[in-house]
Structure 1
Amino acid sequence: MAENTHNKVAIITGASSGIGQTTAIALSAAGWRVALFGRREVLLQDTARQCKNETLVVVGDVADEGDVARLFAETINKFGRLDMLFNNAGTGAPALPLEELPLSLFQKVLNTNLIGTFLCTREAVKIFKSQTPQGGRIINNGSISAHTPRPHSAPYTATKHAVSGMTKSTALDGRAFNISCTQIDIGNAHTPMAARLAAGALQPDGSTRPEAMMDQQHVADAVVHIASLPNEVQVLQFMIMATGMPFVGRG
């Protein structure tokens, strides 16, 4: 059975748009108080206006250690505890052959998708271990690419595979402290980042074809459901995608 989530506290990274914004609104409607984190203050404030429950807006970069520490400190200062972290912030790189990929682009994706997940996870675990009652939940935004890549997607695919390792390690190391960790692997949610796939996506056979998409609200609803479970229940991996998406076999 789901727990009573009224007045529980969640941090959502990348909350200014897409899945982060939609999930923040859905969690707030379900009774959560939410801390919204991202780089674009105007868009974060727009998310906050659409939330029904109490919010906190913190502007910063998940790849910046100081910004992340400030996020968690301000959350505890305002709300007094933390029950869930949604490591949602992520980015990709242009679809380039490996031999044409600059190191700077690879590092940018690495810093956001993996380093950011690590920094936020580390701060959340500190709080989860020290608060009473002890424990909490972390949900990592993985990807279908954590299992099977698209063509010319090495930076994104490599980091999402690494997030799978972070998820499993967090679940294992958190077990004794009532800390659970989930990876939600999403395929073709209609977000600003993925909207181009509906127009045409490069397939492994070299063709470019439009792909089936799904409303991002379904992802938000899944996150709300997982977050509502007691920490004694571990959802290690959750995969959600558009039914018509070419995932099995990748086209």
Structure 2
Amino acid sequence: MTDKPKTLFITGASTGIGAETARAAVKAGWNVGLFARSADKLNDLAAEFGDKALALPGDATSLDDQTGALEMLAEKFGGVDAVFANAGMGLSTSGTDEGQPDEWRKMIELNVLGVLWTTKAATPHLKKTGGHLLLTGSAAGRRHIKGSVYGASKWFVHGYGGNLAEEMREWGGRCTVIAPGMVDTPFFDEGKPDKLKPEDIAEAVMYALHANKRANVQEVFVMPTG
């Protein structure tokens, strides 16, 4: 008798790190729930995976959208074993003096509140499976960058991830912060061909997920050599 395939929910799944993590997970035998705002991109990606995937269009800044998506995913595949809170955004203008408050608000809603909503929606499912929560942090969340509001949002992710690891340990769960340096993704307006690729970060996610159950890989830093 073979073990039932595990199921991974990914926010920000339509492109970049999210999409490549979905590919790596399916290759490793996982089912995937693909969550993002772009229904067309999600449907195309889900078609690539066949019956191993479920497209779940929604907005990561909505707790209701994420709660409903996770319920649909659990119903389809019989539970949720891991959740990757990957959705995030940067800013067009850096620094505090030149920064745009409206843009800050949108970023905080996604980079901070969106992570909270993912965690809140996921916790009941992960408690049932003794599951694993992963958060996309950043090298910018571990060093001081002149006036960086984006970096500060990632400092939150790192701090919250560590706190979650302590909380989840009480019921057999695990929490990992995946912290990349610069990655060549649609996050940037111009390509970064000499930097990391989304596949590199997907490999880090799978490394943390596949660690022995007795081990919680709490942070993974992946930095470009170039």
Is the TM value for this pair above 0.5?
A: yes
Q: Say whether residues 1:168 and 2:150 are aligned partners.
A: no
For each residue in 1:54-111, what CA deviation from the matched residue of structure 2 results, as whole angstroms up to 9, or x when unmatched?
Answer: 1111111111111011111111111121111011101011123312323221111111
**One of 218, 221, 230 as aligned partner of 2:200:** 218
State the alpha-carbon separation in 2 of the partners of residues 46 and 151 from structure 1: 40
The amino acid across from 1:140 in the alignment is L
Q: Please list every run of 5 or more consecutive structure 2 residues that lacks an aligned counterpart in the other structure.
A: none
Shift of 1:151: 4.6
Shift of 1:218: 1.4
Aligned partner of residue 81 in structure 1, secondary structure: coil
Q: Say whether residues 1:241 and 2:223 are aligned partners.
A: yes
Aligned partner of residue 195 in structure 2, secondary structure: coil
Aligned partner of residue 198 in structure 1, secondary structure: coil
State the alpha-carbon separation in 1 of the partners of residues 107 and 121 from structure 2: 21
The amino acid across from 2:197 in the alignment is D
State the alpha-carbon separation in 2 of the partners of residues 213 and 38 from structure 1: 25
**One of 112, 121, 124 as aligned partner of 1:123:** 121
Structural RMSD (CA): 1.9
**One of 117, 128, 133 as aligned partner of 1:138:** 133
Aligned partner of residue 9 in structure 2, secondary structure: strand
Sequence identity (%):
30
For each residue in 1:160-196, what CA deviation from the matched residue of structure 2 results, as whole angstroms up to 9, or x when unmatched?
Answer: 0000111011100011111100001001221111463
Normalising by structure 2, what TM-score?
0.92
The amino acid across from 2:26 in the alignment is S
Contact persistence 1:146–1:164 (CA under 8 A)? yes
Shift of 1:127: 1.6
Moved segments of 4+, more than 4 Å: 149-152
**One of 173, 176, 184 as aligned partner of 1:190:** 184
Aligned partner of residue 99 in structure 1, secondary structure: coil
State the alpha-carbon separation in 2 of the partners of residues 98 and 5 from structure 1: 52
Q: Say whether residues 1:84 and 2:78 are aligned partners.
A: no
Change (3 A) 1:172 1:189: same
Contact persistence 1:24–1:34 (CA under 8 A)? yes
Normalising by structure 1, what TM-score?
0.84
